[in-house]
Amino acid sequence: MKIFGKSLHSLTGKLLVLIGSLFIISGSIAWYVFTFYTKEKLMDEAIKYAGSFVELTKKSTHYGMQNNQRETIQETIKAIGIAEGIRKVRIFNPEGKIAYSSKVDDIGSFVDKSDPTCQSCHVSPIRHPLGIEPQRLTVFKKAPWIITEGQGERLLKFVTPIYNEPSCYTAKCHVHSKNVKVLGLMEMDFSLSLIDKAIWKQTTFITVFGAIFAFVLSLSLCLILYKLVSKPVTLLADGMKEVASGELDYRVEINTKDEMGMLAQTYTRMTKELKAAREKLEGWTRALEEEVAKKTEEIRKSHEQMIHTEKLASLGRMAAGVAHEINSPLTGIVTFAHLMLKRIPPENKLDREDLEVIIEQAERCSKIIKGLLGFSRATPSEKRLLNINEVINRSIRMVSSKADFHNIKFEINMDDTLPPVAGDLSQLQQVFLNILINASDAMNNRGAIHVATRRVFENETAFVEVEFTDTGPGIPEEHLEKLFEPFFTTKPVGKGTGLGLAVSHGIIQEHGGTITAKSERGKGASFFIRLPIAEVN
Ligand code: ADP
């Protein structure tokens, strides 16, 4: 069920029902008390007025009675009987015989003593609150058995005794004896139609006015309730629904300074804090996702690295086997070819040239075999404490004497305070020489090589780092990842074997270090070698 568009279970609905019920109950009580009081007041006034009228009538007839002027009494009664609001005036003796009446036809007839009119007084005399005693009064409601003018009219009946007084039994007429106490009764009927009309008017007025007042008051109350309670509560409830559905930008516009306004402020503060917390949480989630992605990438790389290392290891083992098998026959070929060359006379140029080709090609094979043996690390390393700067200087001195390095400038920037590293001198030298020769090749034997050493930290572990940067054309990005693979070369056939960097990678790894390359096209290439600092006891 709904009331003003609100469910009866809603706060507004309950308030409306409660206030409405209280209003109806208290209004009804007020209405009843007020109309009852008005009725009583008007009746009291009527009785008071009628009582004094009865007294006046008695006094008016007193003189006539003392002088036994029956006609005067009858005329007075008649005159009073036609007055406005008076329905009947009668005087009858104790036996009930009507002696005087405003209705002449009644004179001489008897009043029926068993009549309820008489009985009501005889049996249960009513003591009037205004003290109109010993008169008796009765209010008859819609009494068709009372002969009155106009049906359904309420009548106020006064019946008052006429007592025997000294003036009565000493009067000349000697009508009454001294022993009789009550000489007769005066009965007067007053119409209550005017009073009833006034009561009806008053009641109607109170009812209509009360209803209009109640309607206006209820309407105002509803409007006040709607503005002060229902509307803000609905707005807040809507806001809460939005929050529950995850919408935190919804604003509740209540700008009052009362509790509702405070609630709205609390709501706004709460949504702001919730939003901040959510953003923080989202930030953490993003950071976590990034971290997970980073770690996944690291794991993927190390996995690839593992596979790569595994591949290289098996390739190395195979290469070592092949190299070992081929090395001896190849040495035999070269040795015997040299012997044959010595035996062939100089004029046999053709044979000599053929043999020289055999020797050249066999030596080339021998060079590859040596590389393969180095890659497979067939030669065991002999490690000792080395000053890395000295190893680099030795390597530079060795290449500087070569014609290929005559037009190459060395820019050296070494840290003299570096601690020693544990390494195999000839192997590390081989690594540095290979890098220097590659740089010279890349620069077409013309340019500069920047050589630097420094101490670096990786995961809180100190390393010695060696950097070689040349001014050559650099290494294309797609080549960077293949650089350390065996047999990767961009050099022409006969010049490169593609084993130099693969062997270097193996050597550095065996030393517990790393070798990496960085390059931007046209800006030269850089090689970084990191070696662990030796533990000196
Ligand atoms: P090789 O020297 O026999 O080719 P390496 O393993 O030493 O074998 O080198 C592999 C390849 O790496 C080279 O062929 C060359 O393409 C590239 N490279 C190495 N060093 C440099 C450098 N400093 N600048 C440009 N390219 C380089």
For the segment 257-286, what is each residue's pLDDT rounded down to a tens digit?
888 889 889 999 999 999 999 999 999 999
Query: 167-181, 304-318, 487-501, 502-516: lowest mean pLDDT where?
Result: 167-181
- To test ligand 1's pocket by mutation, which of 430, 470, 501 has the most ligand atoms within 8 angstroms of CB? 501
Nearest CA to ligand 1 atom 20: 438
Under a CB-based contact definition with an 8 Å cutoff, are residues 337 and 527 in contact?
no
Ligand 1 centre distance from Cα of residue 120 (Å): 142
| 3-state SS, one letter per residue, for 436-479 | HHHHHHHCCCCEEEEEEEEEEEECCEEEEEEEEEECCCCCCHHH
Which residues, 6 or more positions from 68, have their beta carbon under 8 angstroms from its beta carbon? 171, 172, 173, 175
Q: List, for residues 373-388, the tens digit of each pLDDT value.
A: 776 655 567 889 999 9
Q: How far is the CA of 489 from the centre of ligand 1 (A)?
A: 6
The token pair that represents 347 in the structure block: 């004029």
Nearest by Cα to 412 from 453, 463, 447:
453
Which residues contact ligand 1 via a Cβ below 6 A? 434, 438-439, 442, 470, 472, 475, 483, 488-491, 496-498, 500-502, 525
**Is the predicted pLDDT of residue 108 greater than 70, yes or no?**
yes
Q: What is the mean pLDDT of the chain?
A: 84
Torsion of CA 76, 82, 84, 90, to 10 degrees: 70
Q: What is the arithmetic mean of pLDDT over 174-187?
A: 75
Question: For residue 9, what is the DSSP state?
Answer: T
DSSP tag of 226: I
The C-alpha atoms of residue 404 and residue 398 are separated, in whole angstroms, by 12
Separation CA 485–CA 364 (nearest Å):
21
Q: How many CB atoms lie within 10 A of CB 201?
A: 10
Backbone phi, psi, residue 100, to 5° = -135, 145
The alpha carbon of 183 and the centre of ligand 1 are apart by a number of angstroms equal to 159
Cα gap 349→50, rounded to integer Å: 177
Q: Which residue has the higher pLDDT, 15 or 173?
A: 15
Give percent above pLDDT 90 in the chain: 36
> Ligand 1 pocket: which of 375, 404, 481, 489 to mutate (most atoms <8 Å of CB)?
489
Ligand 1 centre and the CA of 471: distance in Å?
14
Burial class (CB in 10 A: 0-12, 13-18, 19+), 165: middle
Mean pLDDT for 440-458 is: 95
Residue 106 has pLDDT above 80, yes or no: yes
Q: If you measure from the C-alpha of residue 474 to the centroid of ligand 1, how many angstroms do you get, rounded to a whole number?
A: 10
Strand bridging mode 6-7 / 155-163: unpaired
Task: Read off the tokens for 382.
Answer: 């002999």
Q: Is the pLDDT of residue 121 over 70?
A: no
Which pLDDT band, with edges at 50, 70 and 90, does 154 fall under? confident
Within 84-192, where are the H helices? 116-123, 166-169
Burial of 384 (0-12, 13-18, 19+ CB in 10 A): exposed
Give the mean model confidence (pLDDT) for residues 323-327: 83
**How far is it, in rounded angstroms, from Cα 194 to Cα 142?**
15
Q: Which numbered atom of ligand 1 lies nearest the CA of 484?
A: 6
Those residues with Cβ within 8 angstroms of residue 388's Cβ, 6 or more apart along the chain or in another chain: 418, 420, 421, 423, 428, 453, 464, 466, 531
Q: How far apart are CA 195 and CA 170, in angstroms?
A: 43
Q: Has this prediction a pTM greater than 0.85? A: no
441 CA from centroid of ligand 1 (Å): 8
- pLDDT at residue 127 tops 80: no
Residue 291 has what pLDDT? 95
**Ligand 1 centroid distance, CA of 466 (Å):** 18
Q: Which residues contact 179 (CB under 8 A, 6 or more apart)?
A: none
